[in-house]
């Protein structure tokens, strides 16, 4: 895994990682700006995909089709919906689900996508490497739920935690997972907690976006050190 695609939804998340790498080349595909970076013996291709599942899926396919990457990492922030995670903790997904995908009228379980499934597993080797990293006991591994909703209502957070046993919610990870699954590309999603749904967590989000993005970037660098 020497050529690593890294997708961020937002500028703040991208910049927290860009600061730590040496940019060797910049280019554009459509509206997307790509930063090719060196980190030790690895080449990383960083890109800000924009918010939401469609942007994330489209960007993943562009990376796969044009840039000969061996693996995709998705790095950013998320809303904590489990009592086990706190602001600025890191959550590494072992699997992802789309909490807003709903074909229940046709007898599918909530979140089940025909020909894909309900949960999509992250690459086992990457999850194992991630599980060996310890930053002050602030790392959890578990399910991440994605959907095209910024979750603010506490009840919605509780429901998603209850239905999918998810540790956090965000808006891109499971879309990237689906594209990687369909294209047979290994992937991992790494998020740091920026907020927790409580009615006004958009304020907490703004307050902790930079700090949580830095946590996620720190974790990413530790992971890059371990990937062979
Ligand atoms: N402030 C941005 C919008 C942020 S949307 C703007 O004005 O453009 C929230 C982003 O952070 C998404 O990319 C999502 O993946 C993640 N996220 C963080 N907390 C979240 C939450 N509570 N619910 C859903 N997504 C969340």
Active site residue 107: no
Report how far residue 57's alpha carbon sits from residue 63's, in angstroms, rounded to the nearest whole number.
Answer: 10
Most ligand 1 atoms within 8 A of CB, residue of 10, 149, 151, 158 to mutate:
10
Closest by CA position to 216, among listed 188, 193, 194, 192: 192
Residue range 101-111, pLDDT digits in tens = 999 999 999 99
Going from the Cα of 193 to the center of ligand 1, the distance in angstroms, rounded, reads 11
Average pLDDT, stretch 196-225?
Answer: 98
Phi first, then psi, for residue 150 (nearest 5°) are -80, 110
Going from the Cα of 106 to the center of ligand 1, the distance in angstroms, rounded, reads 31
Going from the Cα of 37 to the center of ligand 1, the distance in angstroms, rounded, reads 26
Contact (CB, 8 A) for 142 and 166: yes
Average pLDDT, stretch 82-98?
Answer: 98
pLDDT band at 75 (very low <50, low <70, confident <90, very high): very high
Going from the Cα of 169 to the center of ligand 1, the distance in angstroms, rounded, reads 9
Report how far residue 180's alpha carbon sits from residue 195's, in angstroms, rounded to the nearest whole number.
Answer: 27
Average pLDDT, stretch 204-223?
Answer: 98
Q: Does the predicted TM-score (pTM) go above 0.95?
A: yes
Of 89, 94, 123, 195, the active-site residue reads: 195
Going from the Cα of 107 to the center of ligand 1, the distance in angstroms, rounded, reads 31
Q: Would the CB of 89 count as within 6 Å of ligand 1?
A: no
Active site residue 94: no
pLDDT of residue 135: 87
pLDDT band at 137 (very low <50, low <70, confident <90, very high): confident
In degrees to the nearest 10, what's the CA dihedral of 177, 40, 12, 55? -30
User: Percentage of the chain with pLDDT > 90?
Assistant: 98
Angle at 144 between CA 141 and CA 149, to 5 degrees: 155
Burial class (CB in 10 A: 0-12, 13-18, 19+), 200: exposed
Residues near 217 by Cβ (< 8 Å), separated by ≥ 6?
A: 13, 16, 17, 19, 20, 75
Burial class (CB in 10 A: 0-12, 13-18, 19+), 187: buried
Most ligand 1 atoms within 8 A of CB, residue of 54, 77, 145 to mutate:
77
Q: For residue 200, what are the CA distances in angstroms to 12, 52, 90, 153, 172?
A: 21, 20, 22, 8, 21
Most ligand 1 atoms within 8 A of CB, residue of 171, 173, 193, 196 to mutate:
171
């Amino acid at each position: 895994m020497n050529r690593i695609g890294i997708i961020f939804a937002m500028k703040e998340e991208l910049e927290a990682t860009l600061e730590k790498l040496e940019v060797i080349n910049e280019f554009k595909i459509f509206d997307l700006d790509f930063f090719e970076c060196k980190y030790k013996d690895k080449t990383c291709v960083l890109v800000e995909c924009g918010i939401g599942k469609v942007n994330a899926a489209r960007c993943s396919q562009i990376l796969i089709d044009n840039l000969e990457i061996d693996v995709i990492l998705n790095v950013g922030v998320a809303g904590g919906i489990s009592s086990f995670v706190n602001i600025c903790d890191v959550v590494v997904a072992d699997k992802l689900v789309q909490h807003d995908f709903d074909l229940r009228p046709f007898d599918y379980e909530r979140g089940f996508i025909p020909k894909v499934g309900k949960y999509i597993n992250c690459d086992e080797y990457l999850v194992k490497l991630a599980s060996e990293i310890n930053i002050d006991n602030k790392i959890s591994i578990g399910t991440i739920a994605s959907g095209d909703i910024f979750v603010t209502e506490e009840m919605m957070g509780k429901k998603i935690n209850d239905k999918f046993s998810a540790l956090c919610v965000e808006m891109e990870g499971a879309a990237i997972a689906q594209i990687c699954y369909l294209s047979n590309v290994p992937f991992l999603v790494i998020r740091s907690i920026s907020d927790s749904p409580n009615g006004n967590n958009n304020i907490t989000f703004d307050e902790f976006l930079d700090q949580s993005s830095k946590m996620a970037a720190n974790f990413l660098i530790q992971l890059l050190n371990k990937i062979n």
